[in-house]
Amino acid sequence: MADQAIQRFGSAAQANMGVPILLLTLLGMMILPIPPFLLDTLFSFNIALSIVVLLVSVYAMRPLDFAVFPTILLVATLLRLALNVASTRVVLLEGHAGGDAAGKVIQAFGEVVVGGNYAVGLVVFFILVIINFVVVTKGAGRISEVSARFTLDAMPGKQMAIDADLNAGTLTQEEAKERRQEISSEADFYGAMDGASKFVRGDAVAGILILIINILGGLGIGMVQHDLDFQRAVEVYTLLTIGDGLVAQVPSLLLSTAAAIMVTRVNSESDMREQVFTQMFSSPNALTVAAMVLAIMGLIPGMPHVAFLSLAAACSAGAYYVQRSVMQKLALVEEGEREKGAQLAQEAQTPSSELGWDDVAPVDMIGLEVGYRLIPMVDKNQSGELLGRIKGIRKKLSQEIGFLVPAVHIRDNLELQPSSYRISLMGVMVGESEVHPDRHLAINPGQVFGSLEGIAAKDPAFGLDAVWIDDGIKDHAQTLGYTVVDASTVIATHLNQLLQKHVHELLGHEEAQQMIDRLARHSPKLAEVLVPDTVSMGVLLRVLKNLLQEQVPVRDFRTISEALVANMAVNQDPARLAEAVRVALSRSIVQEIFGNETNLPVITLAMSMEQMLMKSMAQQAAGELTLEPGLAEQLQSSLSAAARDQEAKGHVAVLLVAATLRPVMARLARFSSHPLSVLSYNEIPDDKQITIENTVG
């Protein structure tokens, strides 16, 4: 029979009947009479449930690891109130019979816990209520409210951080989806905790009211219906009521404490015990000062000498142990550095039998040099994340531009500062900066709602104001609107930005030949007539570099090749051929800039300015335009102002000019202080509409 009952219960649980059965059980407890032995069982279960919930809250790594906590808090509160109603019925009906009339648990809490003294019981009960209601519940409710508001305010900043990582190639689409789901779950959790804290607060108020009602009702029933004198009625019903109240308040206090622990937790890779021991007992100075203060207090006449001096000795022992652990870690680090230095010196002193070409190191296409403190970030054996992110950057950039980006050669450089790094292209340094691997960089995207304490810095990729902050205030920084990234993301983003800027320098004869080989596999006839019958490898490479220099991808190599074959007989100038290729790629170029918009807001030159520039070009050498310094500066500042105005309106900054002027204006815009794309009228597809938003001249 027992096995069959278990099977039926399991079947009910699988059929999603568990929650309805639980709710019906709670309703039955409020309506139907419950025998004392069943009350004892349910009270014991309630206490056990509270203890389990508290321990799970303590050992949870993050609040989201216990996301069902608000629901459990609500169910436990309803269970406790249902038990209060059931026990009240039993106390009022059977309380005149004495002691265990309402069950052994209530009797134990009424007699054993408070010593059978109802006055002491009342004091203890009200102290527990004050602790629960005024201290724990009120604080947890306030923290839940603030956390819910700050979490919602921080969602745009967190979404921007995810988009930045996705664009930098450090995240896949699946990982970004998981991050966004986690942000949504976090907001839902704190919102639910804000509401659940109100249940706990109301439960504390209900406990006080139930106590008063039970005492007054018990006195009336005992004296009127059961002919008890006042003293006996007070003794019997007050003790039972206090026992009933204490047996409900103890689990309530435990659950309130669990709720406070959950909303005060900080996301970490360790549980609460590890966080406490790691953060509180990591400083030997704090323990040493505490030991001195305790020793002084222990030597004062009249003080409990044994207690204070024992604690002083314990703090001294703890300070000694912590100091020894810190010194051991420093010794291991110094020993590793000495061994590495000795190894490098030995390699330098090792004589070589004969010089050869192997002794001439080739120049790295892309190089990344790091200081010795950043070595763990690029070491696979030390779980370095930077290697994977650099691989993701290369993959994403290669897919976007159309050829395989060369590998990044990473090496350590003892001449650099310990936390510095340097990025080089063809052996020439193009960027360097300093990061703090044990901190996070909080970047100001333009609008934040407060300041942060930390090391002031600049974002090396885009030059934005930033602050290096401790890991503990990362969530707080996000709530203020900062974009928070770790040190490896800073380096990866800086590398990605420099590679995109100098991508035309990465394309060489080898990469161009690989593109031709790929074309030969899909369009063999086109590849056959392209090189060397139509264009030389040098001319082809120059055309591709011109396109990449203006951020035009070359992944559609078939269209590029067909445009070169069609226009080579007319003109053999690489610059003119690049303009012809741009016309062939006009749809993809416009889509890359404007997306799928059909109405294109653009900036144009005034007719007088455009005619003057074209006349100047006609008088000078072909494709060349020399302007007076004052006119060039004025034109450049006007273009920058127009670009800023376009971006303020939410549009992309694009200058539309005649085809003959486009290369010259593109070179001028390249050195502008504000990014500006330059298109010709020939590059606008027929299905697109042009809206002139600004005119320069």
Buried/exposed code over 548-574 (b: 16+ C-beta within 10 A; e: otherwise)? bbbbbbbebbeebbbbbeebbeeeeeb
Give yes or no for residue 38 having a pLDDT over 90: no
Instruction: Tell me the two tokens of residue 223.
Output: 């004296």
d(CA 556, CA 403): 10
E strands of 159-312, at which residues?
none
Most confident of 249-258, 409-418, 610-619: 409-418
- Phi, psi angles (nearest 5°) of residue 59: -90, 0
Across all residues in the chain, what is the average pLDDT? 79
Quick one: pLDDT at residue 163? 72
Give yes or no for residue 161 having a pLDDT over 80: no
Number of separate helices (H) and strands (E) present in the chain: 24, 12
Mean pLDDT of 587-606: 90
Local structure of residue 570 (DSSP, 8 states) = T
Query: Using an 8 Å Cβ cutoff, are 544 and 585 in contact?
Result: no
Q: What are the residues facing 604 on neighbouring strands?
A: 656, 695
d(CA 604, CA 252): 71
Instruction: Tell me the two tokens of residue 113.
Output: 């816990």
- In this predicted model, what pLDDT tens digit does every residue of 55-82 receive, in sequence order? 888 777 777 777 788 888 888 888 888 8
Taking the alpha carbons at both ends of the chain, their separation in whole angstroms is: 95
Residue 12: pLDDT band with limits 50, 70, 90: very low
Residue 571: pLDDT band with limits 50, 70, 90: confident
% of the chain residues with pLDDT over 70: 85
The sheet carrying 455-458 orders its strands as 455-458, 465-469, 440-443, 483-486
Say how many C-beta atoms besides its own lie within 10 A of residue 234's C-beta: 17
Residue 200 Ramachandran class (φ > 0 left, ψ -120 to 50 alpha, else beta): alpha
Give yes or no for residue 601 having a pLDDT over 70: yes
Quick one: pLDDT at residue 54? 84
12-26, 195-209, 498-512, range with the lowest pLDDT: 12-26
- In this predicted model, what pLDDT tens digit does every residue of 390-406 receive, in sequence order? 888 999 999 999 999 99
Instruction: Tell me the two tokens of residue 69.
Output: 């906590």
Q: Give the DSSP per-residue string, 25-93.
A: HHHHHHHS---HHHHHHHHHHHHHHHHHHHHHHHH-SSGGGGTTHHHHHHHHHHHHHHHHHHHHHHHHH
- 0.85 cut: is pTM over it? no
Compute CA distances 266 → 135, 277, 417, 489, whole Å: 21, 15, 32, 22
47: closest CA among 2, 105, 121?
Answer: 105
The kind and range of the H/E element at 665 are helix 662-670
Quick one: pLDDT at residue 672? 75
Residue 617: CA atoms inside 13 Å, Cβ hemisphere, count? Answer: 17
Strand, helix or coil at 563? helix
Instruction: Tell me the two tokens of residue 293.
Output: 């203060």
Quick one: pLDDT at residue 131? 77
Local structure of residue 638 (DSSP, 8 states) = H
d(CA 428, CA 367): 9
d(CA 106, CA 123): 17
Packing angle, helices 386-401 and 487-501, rounded to 10: 30
- Phi, psi angles (nearest 5°) of residue 410: -105, 130
Mean pLDDT of 420-448: 91
Residue 494: pLDDT band with limits 50, 70, 90: very high
